[in-house]
């Protein structure tokens, strides 16, 4: 892990960088430091070191090049919530996520240019996105059945489809059908996104009233 020297003077936006590419780290460091008030305080590719830096440095941002690292973003988000940190995670990945994500998670792709990245960090676009997501969350009241809520709870706890099938004494095919319905209701694409929403309490889990009456 490489620790940067702290500088006195103007208040800096504290960041830590995570990547296994020295070339990438060097390039990103130059781009962000050119912005003036952004300061890199640590660079690492190890998950344990990233977790340690989050707790000790309490950065405003963790910039994570996850194309090769493939770190567990859910685990990092849980740590941030557990320690009551205000850190936002910027994830550079190979694909663009269109489904709802937690407010402290920002996905970018290789198509994102340096000026856009700096705008996000300085809040010129991030705040706008956050407001949009908040307003969307107020409009979205998800009507989920009790069983669907339980499935989400088990998914968040790490249960496999087979284990969930055993809990309900149903087939794995039925479990997959439940997941498909859940993804459709929540506008999600996969299990990973469902875990993120469940872990970060970004999901308005309200059981369907009609289901409650009849069961």
pLDDT tens, residue by residue, 100-122: 556 688 888 888 888 888 888 88
Two tokens, residue 65: 């090049």
Same domain, 132 and 29: yes
CATH number for the domain spanning 202: value is 1.10.10.10
Q: How many domains does the chain have?
A: 2
Same domain, 44 and 56: yes
DSSP state of 48: H
Residues 107 and 153 in one domain: no
| Highest-scoring range by mean pLDDT, 8-17, 58-67, 73-82, 152-161 | 58-67
List the beta bridge partners of residue 206: 143
For residues 191 and 132, membership in a common domain is answered with no
The residue length of the chain stands at 215
* Final residue belonging to a domain, choices 103, 136, 169: 136
Which of 82, 116, 136 is the last residue in one of the domains?
136
Residues 77 and 129 grouped into a single domain: yes
Q: For 172-207, what is each residue's pLDDT tens digit? A: 999 999 999 998 888 877 777 787 777 655 555 554
The sign of the torsion formed by the CA atoms of 159, 165, 171, 175 equals negative
Confidence bin at 54 (pLDDT 50/70/90): very high
Q: Report the CATH number at residue 131.
A: 3.40.50.2300
pLDDT (tens digit, 9 = 90+) per residue, 15-24? 999 998 888 8
- Host domain of residue 74: 2-136
pTM attached to this predicted model: 0.59
Residue where a domain stops, chosen among 136, 162, 181: 136
Question: Measured in Å, how far apart are the chain's first and last C-alpha atoms?
Answer: 55
Q: Are residues 14 and 104 in the same domain?
A: yes
Same domain, 92 and 181: no
Contact (CB, 8 A) for 203 and 152: yes
Confidence of residue 165 (pLDDT cuts 50, 70, 90): very high
Do 40 and 106 lie in one domain? The reply is yes
Given a cut of 50, whether residue 129 has pLDDT beyond it is: no
Classify strands 142-144 and 38-44 as parallel, antiparallel or unpaired.
Answer: unpaired
Same domain, 75 and 132: yes
């Amino acid at each position: 892990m490489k620790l940067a020297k702290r500088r006195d003077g103007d208040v800096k936006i504290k960041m830590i960088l995570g990547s296994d590419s020295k070339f990438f780290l060097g390039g990103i460091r130059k781009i962000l430091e050119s912005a003036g008030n952004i300061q890199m305080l640590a660079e690492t590719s190890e998950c344990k070191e990233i977790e340690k830096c989050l707790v000790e440095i309490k950065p405003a941002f963790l910039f994570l090049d996850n194309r090769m690292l493939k770190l567990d973003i859910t685990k990092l988000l849980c740590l941030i919530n557990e320690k009551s940190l205000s850190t936002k995670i910027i994830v550079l990945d190979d694909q663009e996520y269109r489904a709802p994500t937690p407010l402290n998670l920002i996905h970018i792709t290789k198509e994102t240019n340096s000026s856009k990245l700096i705008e996000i960090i300085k809040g010129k676009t991030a705040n706008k996105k956050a407001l949009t997501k908040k307003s969307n969350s107020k409009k979205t009241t998800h009507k989920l059945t009790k069983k669907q809520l339980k499935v989400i709870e088990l998914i968040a706890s790490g249960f496999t489809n087979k284990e969930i099938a055993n809990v309900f004494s149903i087939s794995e095919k039925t479990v997959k059908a439940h997941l498909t319905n859940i993804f459709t209701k929540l506008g999600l694409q996969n299990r990973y996104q469902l875990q993120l929403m469940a872990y970060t309490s970004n999901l308005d889990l309200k059981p369907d009233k009609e289901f409650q009456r009849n069961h």
